[in-house]
Structures are given as C-alpha cells and as structure tokens.
Homo-oligomer: A and B are copies of this chain.
Amino acid sequence: MLKRRLFTPGPVPVPERVRLAMAPEIIHHRAPDFIPIFQHCKEGLQRIFQTEQPVLIFAASGTGAMNASVSNLLSPGDHALVVRGGKFGERWQEICDAYCVRTTCIDVEWGQAVDPARVGEALDANPDVKAVYLTASETSTCVRHPVREVVQAVRAREGERLVVVDGITAVGVYDIPMDAWDIDALVSGSQKAFMLPPGLAFLGLSPRAWRFQESATCPRFYFDVAAERSALEGDQTAWTPAVSLLMGLEEALKIILDEQGLEGTWRRTEALAHATREAMRALGLELYAPDAPSPAATAVVVPEGIDGPALRKLLKDELGFTTADGQGKAKGKIFRLAHLGYFDAFDTIAAVAAVEIALARLGYEFKTGEGVRTAVELLRDHA
C-alpha cells in the first residue's frame, strides 16, 4: 500500500470537493445556468487579485496569459526591461523575442532576489523602456522578488511605463495587492493557489495597461484582451471557456475566500514554508534561496555525496512523495517541496519525515527526528 502524495509547486493536489464539483453533467456556456457560476468566478478572482479591474479568464495554461501580456501591451520594436533570475524570468524574454520586442535583461543570480536599485539604474540607462517584466515568485528557484519595491523604482522615474508581473505562484499565495501596489498586469494560473487542474489562466490589467493596449500593434486573436473584456462584461468569455474547470473554480473560491479567508490562506502558506525551511536547516541541509524565499515552495540543495535524482526517485517510488526537480541549471542539484494550495500542517510534517527517511536510506548523516521536531514545534499553532 503506497499512498501517493503530490508535493510539486503546481499542479498541487485538488481537493476532493473541487474534483466532484467538476464531475456533474456539462452545462452550456451560453445558457443562463452558466451565468451565476461565471459571476462567482469573476468576483472571486477580483478579490484574490485585490483589484477593482476585471480579471480575464483564458482557456490556456499560465504561459498563455504571459503571452497575452506581451502581445496586447507592446508593439514590435518597443523596448522592455526583463528581470531574469530563473526559468520563468527567462520566459518573459523569450516571449518578447517572439514578438520582436527588444529586451534589456537584468540577470539575477539564481537563488537571489533582484535588487530594485538595479531596475532603477537600468531605467536611467534606458529611458525608452516601455514595460518592465518580472516574476513575483520565481518557481524554478523558489525566490520571492520584491515586486512592490520594483514598482516604486519604476514610478520614481519620469515617463509612463508598465510593470508586468508573473504572479503564477504568488497570487493567492501571499499578499500581492494588484491595485494597492499599482501593478499593471498580473498573471496567474489554475493549478497553483487555486487548487485546480491546469487549463485556466488569469490576467488582471490596470487602467494604464488598458491604455497601452489601445496603441499596441503586436498581433493577437485568441489572446485578445479587448475582446475578453467586452465578453466579460456580459458574463462570458470571447471563446468557448473551459466550463468544467470554471465549475471547479467556483468551488475552490468558496474554500479560499469564504471558509479559510484570503489572509488565512497566506498565513497558513507562510507557516508551512517557514516550518519546512527551518526543518531542512535542522537536518543540516542548505536552502537554495536562503535570503528571499518564496512561501510558494522551498528549494533544498541536495547535500554533498547524495545523488539528487536518486533522492527524488526514492521519495517517489519507495515513499510515495512526488517532489519537483530543479529546472535549467539547477536540475539535479535541488529538490523542491510545495506549500501553496491544498497543503496543511500534517502534510508538511509528513513531507519532512519523508525527506528524513529518504536521506537516511541514502546514507546521509544527521540526527533523526530533528526535522519533524522542528516542524511540529513551528506548526503547533497552525494545525
């Protein structure tokens, strides 16, 4: 009897009641029955994004909304500043490339957060930059970038510029208020804090972004935000929506907003992340992003003498825990444990125990139980 436990930072486990909410007979998306479901989704997303602006819903994975955040806001030849410190920061640059948007990149060491002063300096050196693209929570390195301070650095300079934020593992994970922080475009996706299967992408746009959109000439059709906004006003999407996932979203929003509360969700996620980090340290392990960790997931450096892939294989095949490998240059060197979404204190304590047992079987030396003791201590008030 090997129980399976998914600990990847997306997809995350989908609560049974959300899965059952997707199982009823399909309804037609242009029929009146669909309207209340869509309205609940629309309003709930605005609360989670902390915005008064409409949050668009695409049938796509998160990368689709990232694509939309370039093709709808800029024109070929425009200049963008991209903060790159992991696989998802790199993706912004690749999308800009695909749309012939010129980029200047701030390369941040993997595992580190960007210094907002560097953004300011880059803008001083490149005053023609029209948009700054960055990642709130860089899932590949488990770093949290200082979005608020980056926005402030952008606003402190003359000229109207957009700040476009990949919030795929940030929105609903911690406090990232779109309106209060003056973020112009904020992206998220269903298989993260929203506890759904992949297949929905979300995009909130500021009034400034809507103005940029009017003059942007990059071509777009499926990801046309103007078409989506006008459909949204009538409680519809421009193209056929992923109906079953929206039925699930309605249920997941009840859990997040009505039962647990948005702040309660942030607190729980942060507590799980903090407990995991301290538990790993108690085992003598090093964190990949010690200075600016994201609460979405924790990246742990595979210790000397231990084979990373073997560790993850043992965790999965012998203990039932699916963890995430490093990506790009961190592949094989770290393993990642998720905290965002449908995880609680006992899931987290079990994951720490699994890491202990796996490391012990591979011959790593440490004092058994120090990890779980730390986790239990820190999660005592969050269970």
Contacts and interface: CB of A to CB of B under 8 A. Distances in A.
Given A60-B59, A239-B64, A244-B197, A100 B222 contact: no
A219 B218 contact: yes
A362 B160 CA distance: 61
A277 interface: no
B220 A222 contact: no
A180 to B, nearest CB: 29
A63 B224 CA distance: 12
A243 interface: yes
Given A8-B28, A198-B242, A243-B11, A60 B23 contact: no
A306 to B, nearest CB: 21
Interface residues of A, number: 56
Interface string A225-249: 0000000000000011111110000
A310 interface: no
Contact of A242 (B27, B61, B70): B61
A222 B64 contact: yes
A308 to B, nearest CB: 15
A20 B23 contact: yes
A26 interface: yes
Given A197-B26, A242-B199, A64 B60 contact: yes
Contacts of A19: 22-25
A23 B239 CA distance: 25
Interface stretch (A39-47, A91-99, A113-121, A293-301): A91-99
B59 A94 contact: no
A98 B312 CA distance: 46
A222 B31 contact: no
B222 A60 contact: yes
A221 B63 CA distance: 9
A219 B219 contact: yes
A6 interface: yes
A29 interface: yes
B71 A64 contact: no
A14 interface: yes
A223 B197 CA distance: 20
Interface string A336-368: 000000000000000000000000000000000
A87 B67 CA distance: 26
Contacts of A98: 219-221, 224
B99 A221 contact: yes
A111 interface: no
A211 interface: no
5 contacts: A59-B198, A66-B222, A71-B219, A191-B243, A199-B242
Given A10-B240, A62-B239, A67-B221, 7 more contacts: A22-B197, A31-B316, A64-B239, A71-B219, A98-B224, A197-B244, A244-B244
List 5 tightest A-B contacts by C-beta distance, closest first.
A199-B242, A197-B244, A61-B240, A67-B222, A98-B221
Interface of A: 4, 6, 8, 10-14, 19-20, 22-29, 31, 59-64, 66-67, 70-71, 76, 94-95, 98-100, 189, 191, 197-199, 218-224, 239-245, 316, 322
